[in-house]
Amino acid sequence: MTRDIGFLIFPDFQLLDAAGPIAAFEIAGRLVPGAYRLHLLAREAGAVPSSSGVAMTAKAFAEAPPLDTLIVSGGEGTRSPAICEATLAFARATFRSARRTASVCSGTYVLAAAGLLDGRRATTHWQRSKDFQRRYPTVRLEPDKIFVQDGALWSSAGITAGIDMALAMIGADLGEEVARRTAQQLVVYHRRPGGQSQFSALLEMRGGRFDGLLAWARENLALPLSVDQLAERAAMSPRNFARQFAVETGSTPAKAVERLRVEAARALLDNQPLQVEDVALETGFGDQERMRRAFLRAFGQPPQALRRAARASQPNVAAAP
């Protein structure tokens, strides 16, 4: 069975929003010959310039075959297709006939403008979340997710998250072994779970001279990581360390360590078959209750609820044809 996958682009689209998923499906098609046919689509046929200036050659909508999956790219040029009736009509018609309709990054605006996301769960790039929620209040936006599946509709966060979504689709189509081998060829993680956060505590807290200390702390979460221990590592007095750390990172040492632990614990809960109490020990919380309180502060939900939500967001894996 060959599945026709369409990639919708437009002037000033983000190149990787299209090229990343295209590469994933192309590699999977080499691993399972005949699995996919790929089609680059635009309102008008011809060369379509990306925001980088590099162009890709597309077919017109009218030339598209019946599609199994449509993936709408995002990028700075999204505003035009989101108000283009021909593009929105194509998205609506394809949604009615295709098995899956999806977006990468701000491509979510196109699906929302077409009315396809009303009352449904979706995500987009974190920088667009507030604006998206203001424009489309009926969409159940989940701004902290890498990708979201709500029935036949899929959406993913910024740029490389489109690869994560494509790998999830490949896993659903052809089996997890094919998705794993595809990820190996792409040299990417197989695969970040859909519920994993778009944000990195380590990146958000970059603090000049404390960058190395934060990286070391993340690799040693099972240690106490007290102010005294961190200050000694930084070759500073505890009092001066705590003051300078807060100035440069915007966080107290204790809160910074908790954020690193929460981030690591959530990744383990999403992607490892570990018991909650084992995750608490491995990430330095010490006990399950302490980790539960930290999760409530960070996410408003306990670890078990986030684990259930992450698993629910993963597609059901179908056997390879």
Backbone torsions φ then ψ of 3, nearest 5 degrees: -105, 130
Cα dist from 155 to 95, 101, 120, 244, 247, whole Å: 14, 8, 11, 41, 38
Nearest to 202 by CA among 282, 285, 154, 263: 263
Backbone torsions φ then ψ of 58, nearest 5 degrees: -120, 160
Catalytic residues: 105
DSSP-assigned states of every residue in 257-314: HHHHHHHHHHHHHHH----HHHHHHHTT--SHHHHHHHHHHHHSS-HHHHHHHHHHTS
Give the chain's end-to-end CA distance (angstroms, integer).
Answer: 7
- How many Cα atoms within 13 Å fall on the side-chain side of residue 198? 22
